[in-house]
Amino acid sequence: MNIILLGPPGAGKGTQARRLEKERGMIQLSTGDMLREARNSGSEMGVKVARIMDAGELVTDEIVIGLIEEKLQERPGGGFIFDGFPRTLAQADALGDLLARHGQALDAVIELRVDDDELVRRISGRYTCGECGEVYHDDTRPTKVEGKCDKCGSTNLKRRADDNPEALKTRLMEYYKKTSPLIGYYYAKGLLYPVNGLAPIDTVAQEIALVLDGRPGS
């Protein structure tokens, strides 16, 4: 099964993708994580995208489609959760073509619906483990022991450079201008499943499970 988690920055895509990995053995493909890795490694592409990411703008379709293509080649059997990809109609078309070329299909697009004020609260309280990538929040999901990751015990907890009010404004604008048309695109393909992303993390996870297990043929 291959699914997309669609929603604005801070909607909970990464949080839910990690749960789906744990609970269903699926693989999270986050283009944001891949680009951050490229930056940290200091590769030519990483250097090229750094300024764009810090400003909250989208990097080119060509770069992210290339990253996804590599991953699909590495694991032709599928079982992917696309997180933060596609973000434009051109990326959505490219994903359809890539999956078809690998004999795969898209099974569901889960749209996480969260209002803008809540997104600002979520982004401003977000921190992640620099070692294992677990996602936390100052108020709604703090680590059990302050300063220490629940999952791997690392004390390397970080805040993202683009989780600031200025970049968030640009990221939201990019979402509404370029990514939100995908809601209609996937609705028309009969693949769209909206979920209330405002509910607590466990409830959102249950709603997603209901969608995935309740689909015809699943």
| Of the residues 72, 81, 85, 204, which one makes contact with ligand AMP according to CB under 6 A | 85
Q: Does position 31 bind ligand AMP by CB under 6 A?
A: yes
- For 3, 169, 191, 199, the CA distances from 105, given in Å and listed in that order, are 9, 34, 11, 29
Query: Where would I find the beta strands (DSSP E) of the chain?
Result: 3-6, 27-30, 80-83, 108-113, 126-129, 135-137, 157-158, 192-196
Q: Which does 140 bind (CB under 5 to 8 A by kind): ligand AMP, ligand ADP, none?
A: ligand ADP
Size of site (CB under 6 A) for ligand ADP:
19
Residue 11 near ligand ADP by CB under 6 A: yes
Closest CA to 118 of 12, 215, 218: 12
Contact partner at residue 35 from ligand AMP, ligand ADP, none, CB < 5 to 8 Å by partner kind: ligand AMP
122 makes contact with ligand AMP (CB under 6 A):
no
Catalytic residue among 148, 160, 178, 215: 160
Report the alpha-carbon distance of residue 32 to residue 34 in Å, rounded.
5
The Cβ of residue 144 has, within 10 Å, a number of other Cβ atoms equal to 7
Positions touching ligand AMP (CB under 6 A) are 9, 31-32, 35, 52-53, 56-59, 64, 84-85, 87, 91, 162, 171
Active centre residues (catalytic): 13, 87, 126, 160, 171
